[in-house]
Amino acid sequence: MEALVVGGTGPTGPHIVKGLLARGFRVSILHTGSHESEEIPPEVEHIHTDPSSRDAVEKALGGRRFDLAVVTYGRLRELASLLVGRVGRLLSVGGTPVYQGFANSDAVWPEGLPVPTREDAPLVGPDEHPYLRKIRETEEILFELHPEATHFRYPLVYGPRQHVPREWLVVRRILDGRPHIILPDGGLSLRSCGFAENIAHAVLLGVDAPGVAAGKTYNVGDEQTATLRQFVEIIRRALDSDLEIIQMPAELAISARPLMMNTVTDHLVTDIGAIRQDLGYRDRVPMSEAIARTARWLAEHPEERGGRVERSMQDPFDYAAEDRIVEAWRNARASALAVVAAVDPGYRAQFARSSKRRTPRLGTRVP
């Protein structure tokens, strides 16, 4: 059996390739060749061309046919058209920005995505950004051309060798010996993520169940979703750090926006119940261990300070500015707490053993 993987060298690609080899496929990967991965086994054929160019891909493939194609990169609508009659089955990858409200929370009411968001939630409308509309249009074209295709909506993918490693924004601060990190709104925001090995496993389940998965779209991601604060706490423990978490209102926590990958703290959580029920998906690596493993890998393979990766994430690592914000926040909070202490009616949760977040007494240290 012949399998074509378009892409194949990103975070999930090597896991998908190895999974196909284990299933008896002869695998070819089609990619630019600019990001070769040592994780790709030597028996895999490399077809070097531009996956975003239909003409280039058509020339590179010639008259070849494949039993299976997994498209993880390139212009999906063009590749779907090109692969008509050339593949027995097509599996493809898209993303969650296709949901109405993902990019612009005020595009839905009540404001923000439903938590969690199922596959049948409303998709982006005609007034959204052209890029977002194209994601929806591409999904529609895919199933028009390949009614038996299976499409996976990826969340934010993480793991070793991720090209945009969000974890690095925490890891570098720990490596740099920073005493604290700023998080917005208590760090309580939720965002679906997926460890690369887990996401690849989800795709391979689609390979294994053609009858069940045909014609369907699945949200994929880790079974558990960490809050932003939990995310930082896991990294902190993995690197044996005492980095202090300082929470403040989102409009003040501007240094956390690159980590949030957003300017607001809305939840972005997708429901993976369908793939769990249909294909029996379960995490290969538990979420906490996956984040910790990623953090340790980044600590051992640090990104270049001020390099392309850091610039792409738009984090200036301006520690002097962060310290000014923290000082201003502590002063403002102390002033506000003086008022709160005077008017606090003394409410306590009914069954709580302790009230860690009770109003501090005046004179105590405030983070």
The predicted pLDDT at position 349 comes to: 83
User: Is residue 91 one of the residues assigned to a domain?
Assistant: yes
Domain span at residue 127 reads 86-317
Q: State the total domains in the chain.
A: 1
The backbone torsions φ and ψ at residue 285, rounded to the nearest 5 degrees and listed phi first, read -125, 125
Strand partners, 1: none
Q: What is the pTM of this model?
A: 0.93
56 is a domain residue: no
Tell me whether residue 233 is in a domain: yes
363: in domain: no
| Residue partners of 13: CB distance under 8 A and separation at least 6 | 5, 7, 29, 37, 40, 72, 200
**What is the per-residue burial (b if ≥16 Cβ within 10 Å, else e) of 321-356?**
ebeebbeebeeebeeebeeeeeeeeeeeeeeeeeee
Q: Is residue 165 part of a domain?
A: yes
Q: Answer whether residue 98 is part of any domain.
A: yes
Q: Strand order of the sheet with strand 66-71?
A: 45-48, 26-31, 2-6, 66-71, 87-95, 150-154, 216-219
In this prediction, residue 363 carries a pLDDT of 42
Extract the tokens encoding 213.
């998965």
Rounded CA separation 37/163 (Å)? 12
pLDDT of 362 reads: 44
> Which residues are bridge partners to 30 per DSSP?
6, 47
CB 81 within 8 A of CB 63: no
Strand intervals (E) in the chain:
2-6, 26-31, 45-48, 66-71, 87-95, 150-154, 156-158, 180-184, 193-195, 216-219, 244-248
Task: Identify whether 322 is part of a domain.
Answer: no
CATH number for position 157? 3.40.50.720
In a domain, 42, yes or no: no
What residue ranges of the chain have pLDDT lower than 70?
Answer: 354-367
How far, in Å, are 104, 186, 280 from residue 265 at the CA level?
A: 12, 10, 32
| pLDDT for residue 348 | 85
pLDDT at residue 357 in the model = 56
